[in-house]
Structure 1
Amino acid sequence: MVTFFFTLLILIPIAVAIDISEKIDNFLEHADLGFYQIVDEYYKNFIIYYANTFMPLALFIAVILFTSKLSNNTEIIAINNAKVSFTRFLYPYFIGATLITILSLVMNHFVVPKSSTTRKKFEKEYINNRRQQQEFKFVSDFSLQLTDSTYIFIKNFNTESNAGYDFTSELYDGLELKTKLVADNIRYNKKDSTFTVQNWRLRKIYKDRDSIFSGNKIDTVFNFTPKDLIYKSALSQEMTSDELYKFIEVSKKRGVKNLNAYLVEFHKRTSLPIASYILTIIAVALAFRKRRGGTGVNLAIGIGLMFVYVFLMKISEVLGAVAGVNSLLYVWMPNIFFGCVAIYLYYNARK
């Protein structure tokens, strides 16, 4: 555990130093931005995010370093001569891996999303360029199913001014259209959670006739807010797991077509901490035997495998976010592959 935290404390300052060198110009552009605000709103949450991200890597390196030291001091030979099995030898490692997995699960599901909200808000205000900000500002050609029978369509909506144009609301009874509201402009009133529609036309369809009404301006209520119109995968990082799960379930009912980017984020929060067990077995099996070249060879092999794992993880996240695929399977694919490697190394090490 000491080696794990020491490795983590080595990796974090490197990440902070690289980030400072990239963003120092952005900080200097804002005269009102003080040192304490940068540390409190950005780098405190930056460290939380990357400490959680680096946990599997730090654990993997720590196990290799610690086990290689035992091997180089011939302590493992003494343990083998005492007829201690490889499975029994793994017990303390799994206790450590369990503690880190629990810590990582709590961080992933609750702590990191809350800290990401503050960090993203800071980035939006002081770091992101105008083009990145525009992605979250405008929503175009958007449709949403509010209930089993109510659908809305919006041509364009500005989430900053809470105003849009070319709005349509349709109410169905089964497959039959019953009511259709069309408005040139729509505005959300945050104070009382109502919508103001302008230049509206309401059509009610009956069995033998239609009734058409129109007007200049009217206030009404809809079962959505401007926040529900934004479906960007980056927003999933700011939700705790229970919020994200509810968001996915509500979005499914509303007929949102592709939620795989959100599902990838949801599944990743569990798959990454569980990888601690797999990486622990691989690291112990690699460093269990005394090698010519010592710790350096074990560390080189370990870091090489870690890069392969990170590479596969990133590919699986991208493929898992594609519409129509099983995101759960893709997110867990690196763990499945390396789990097979871990099982092979485990049985080989037992011999």
Structure 2
Amino acid sequence: MKIIDWYILKRFLVTFMFTLLILIPIAIAIDISEKIDNFLEHVNLSVYEIIDQYYINFTIYYTNTFMPLALFIAVILFTSKLSSNTEIIAITNAKISFTRFLYPYFIGATIVTVISLMMNHFVVPSSSKERKKFEKEYIKNKTQKNQLKFVTNFSLQLTDSTYIYIRSFNTESNSGYDFTSEVYDGLKLKSKLSADNIRYNSKDSVFTLRNWRKRQIYRDRDSIFYGSKIDTVFNFTAKDLIYQSALAQEMPSDELIKFIDISKKRGIKNLNAYLVELHKRTSLPIASYILTIIAVALSFRKKRGGTGFNLAIGVGVMFVYVFLMKIAEVLGAVAGVNSFFYVWIPNIIFGALAIYLYLNARK
């Protein structure tokens, strides 16, 4: 690397860190203003607990979320500064092409991308789990807690031949009612086990059924058994009954992939919310390269409006990108669509824009 490369890379990283250090305190201040009443409701909740259990994890999550935005703004800011100081003119006069000029930018974008990928796939999920645990305990209202607490009308395929159905299940008490398990031989029903109540014992992974009835179907006759209580084992746990997109944010990528594979085998119809979360963990960091090209192409020429004009355009472009990303996430979570394609749509659209701006800037 040449001296000019180190110079640009250093300015790149310093401005990027400076932008993050501006955005994160703003996000924390807004969040505190929204949740201060929730904190004050709990007299035993100390400031240390709020910082340690919530705001440290909050900072980790939003630092990772703001990385592409901070990168984009940082590149516009210091490239506009280079342009306004006529430093880019000197670089151009030294016969350095626009492609070569991008070299240190891509090194900086690679550093940010690698850090973001590692955080997205491994660090942020564990941090989100702690943050959401705190929110569930101290911030969420009763209605929101009950939405996470109860699972209703749930069906699950345990094996190729075994299916279960539960009318209602409480994930906190690990108990529910109207349970049914059916075993098939092809399309023919072999046995059916029903119970008025079901409870899961997490210590020994045993289910206790009360007021149970079992119908065993043979070729020429049926047998019916019943009782007040029976302990049995099934190939699932109480955690498997909770299928919500929020839970995907709490799983490291290896655990999330395993969860999706098992759920597909069990016949869960719509896992797109989980697939969107998995694909987003890669697509958003990769966007750093695309946004870097756009930012440099928009700001490397000296304009009459200067840095403020470039920054205004950049914020507008970033707003459109975030808007498209949110729409793509919602559409990608719909059953029956290709979630991978929808998650990558913003990168595809802005990638085409980046190519156009790059080719135009080379001229």
**Is the TM value for this pair above 0.5?**
yes
Distance in 2 separating the partners of 1:76 and 1:158: 64
Distance in 2 separating the partners of 1:27 and 1:140: 31
Q: Deviations over 1:146-188 (max 9, x none)?
A: 1111100001111111111110001112222111101111111
Instruction: Report the alpha carbon displacement of residue 24 of structure 1 after superposing the two structures with TM.
Output: 0.4
Q: 2:321 maps to which residue?
A: 309
Gaps of 5+ in 1: none
Instruction: Report the alpha carbon displacement of residue 80 of structure 1 after superposing the two structures with TM.
Output: 1.1
Q: In the alignment, is residue 12 of structure 1 matched against residue 27 of structure 2?
A: no
Instruction: Report the alpha carbon displacement of residue 261 of structure 1 after superposing the two structures with TM.
Output: 0.6
Q: 2:243 maps to which residue?
A: 231
TM-score (normalizing by structure 2): 0.96
Q: In the alignment, is residue 38 of structure 1 matched against residue 44 of structure 2?
A: no
Query: Which ranges of 4 or more aligned residues in structure 1 deviate by more than 3 Å?
Result: none
Instruction: Report the alpha carbon displacement of residue 32 of structure 1 after superposing the two structures with TM.
Output: 0.6
Q: In the alignment, is residue 3 of structure 1 matched against residue 15 of structure 2?
A: yes
Q: In the alignment, is residue 106 of structure 1 matched against residue 106 of structure 2?
A: no
1:325 paired residue among 334, 337, 362: 337
1:268 paired residue among 258, 269, 280: 280
Q: In the alignment, is residue 162 of structure 1 matched against residue 174 of structure 2?
A: yes
Percent sequence identity over aligned pairs? 79
Distance in 2 separating the partners of 1:37 and 1:216: 46
Q: 2:230 maps to which residue?
A: 218
Instruction: Report the alpha carbon displacement of residue 136 of structure 1 after superposing the two structures with TM.
Output: 1.0
Q: Deviations over 1:107-131 (max 9, x none)?
A: 1000000001110000000000000
For the aligned residue pairs, the C-alpha RMSD in angstroms reads 0.6
1:63 paired residue among 68, 75, 78: 75
SS in 1 for 2:305: coil
TM-score (normalizing by structure 1): 0.99
Distance in 2 separating the partners of 1:133 and 1:165: 20
SS in 2 for 1:264: helix
Distance in 2 separating the partners of 1:78 and 1:156: 71
Distance in 2 separating the partners of 1:318 and 1:157: 27
SS in 2 for 1:191: coil
Q: 2:190 maps to which residue?
A: 178
Instruction: Report the alpha carbon displacement of residue 297 of structure 1 after superposing the two structures with TM.
Output: 0.5
Q: 2:161 maps to which residue?
A: 149
Q: Deviations over 1:222-270 (max 9, x none)?
A: 0111110011111111000011111111111111111111110000000
Q: In the alignment, is residue 51 of structure 1 matched against residue 69 of structure 2?
A: no
SS in 1 for 2:208: strand
Distance in 2 separating the partners of 1:109 and 1:210: 52
Q: 1:22 maps to which residue?
A: 34
Count of residues paired in the alignment:
351
